[in-house]
Amino acid sequence: MASIALNVNGKPVSVTADPDTPLLDVLRNHLGLTGTKFGCGLEQCGTCMVLIDGAPAKSCGKAISTVAGKNVLSIEGLGTSQHPHPLQQAFLDEQAGQCGYCLPGILITAKALLDDNPAPSRQEIAVALDDNICRCGSHARILRAVERAAARMREGASR
């Protein structure tokens, strides 16, 4: 066991865990942040996506020791029910989710995209979200939601 310090959703935290414990396990079981979901456990579905120092990363296979001292953003750090992030609001407006299981990973991936490219084309959005699997068939609405959020963010809505 080791004590590992990192910054999660803008707050410093320290966890005691085996250094090989997946970041996803630490978020969910040590910190109580259950918004990030377990999907395949093989880093293939994108359900467990978080941002590490601003870059999207699949947390199910990322050892906690590899994020020591880094900034991790999970879905809980994106916005609140009182002040949703423009992406969250756009997904609500477009009714882009059905079951919602994949949405935390999709929202985090879309945030990384819009942070790097505030005016992506539909093709660029589709490519960015290619590693996020959604089985509900909401793909067209998801693309529209990201386009809507990008437009709102360019107009000055807070990131």
Q: What is the pLDDT of residues 89-139, one digit of tens each?
A: 999 999 998 888 999 999 999 999 999 999 999 999 999 999 999 888 889
Q: What is the pLDDT of residues 10-67, one digit of tens each?
A: 999 999 999 999 999 999 999 999 999 999 999 999 999 999 999 999 999 999 999 9
The closest of 125, 120, 133 to 49, measured between CA atoms, is 133
> Does position 149 have pLDDT exceeding 60, yes or no?
yes
Q: What is the DSSP letter of 38?
A: P
The closest of 100, 106, 73 to 7, measured between CA atoms, is 73
Residue 158, sorted as left (phi over 0), alpha (psi -120 to 50) or beta, turns out to be beta
Predicted pLDDT at 159:
56
